Amino acid sequence: MKKLLVLITCLLTLTGSAFADEDKSLIAAANIPVTPQISSANTASVQQPIRASLNQCFDTISMGSEQLFYLTMAALNNMHFKIKEVQSKTGTILFQAYSREFLITIADKGANRTFIKILPADSNYTFSPVLVQNIFGFLKANSETTANIL
């Protein structure tokens, strides 16, 4: 198990920053304006910025906490986010997406159920909830897979 942890950590360390720094056009295209914009058709209506709510930032997934921890790191790597810090003992991951930092916390609820929450590090919820929902979607889609020990 220790060899698997070292292998996964090395792979994420070596490949994580290359993916995150590779294509700046994706990051620029995905940035959502956070300031209100006035519509050209009707100047009286103002478009509100997109805000994620706290209820959209947590979920419970049917798998063990250790497996979910590794699957979450794989999801972040797959989505080309930059993993900045990993603390396996406390079950936290700090990552950067679209010039913002987010903190993932994973906690065991028992009976093969695990609680996961993804919160912005600066407590500013002015971001698209699609970012969090994409990670949850990846985790749920791959929740039935098991890790192969090398």
Give pLDDT tens digits for 33-42: 443 444 444 4
pLDDT at 14 over 70: no
Give pLDDT tens digits for 76-120: 999 999 999 999 999 999 999 999 999 999 999 988 899 999 999
Residue with tokens 């990993």: 86
Lowest mean pLDDT among 1-15, 64-78, 112-126: 1-15
- 39: Cβ–Cβ under 8 A, 6 or more apart, which residues? 45, 46, 47
Whole-prediction pTM value? 0.65
Band of the pLDDT at 49, cuts 50, 70, 90? low
- Give pLDDT, residue 143: 87
- Give pLDDT, residue 30: 43
- Give pLDDT, residue 108: 93
Going by their DSSP bridges, the two strands 92-97 and 82-87 should be labelled as antiparallel
Query: Rounded to whole angstroms, how far apart are CA atoms 70 and 26?
Result: 25
- Give pLDDT, residue 79: 96
**CA 143 → CA 64, 68, 71, 109, 131, distances in Å?**
10, 8, 8, 16, 19
- 70: Cβ–Cβ under 8 A, 6 or more apart, which residues? 8, 147
CB atoms within 10 A of CB 31: 12
pLDDT at 11 over 90: no
Assign domain 2-141 to its CATH architecture: 2-Layer Sandwich (3.30)
Q: Which among 54, 150, 61, 73 has a CA at the least distance from the CA of 108? A: 61
Q: Which among 125, 137, 120, 140 has a CA at the least distance from the CA of 48? A: 125
- Give pLDDT, residue 47: 61
**CA 91 → CA 36, 45, 81, 110, 144, distances in Å?**
37, 44, 18, 15, 20
Q: Give the start-to-end residue ranges of the domains of the chain.
A: 2-141
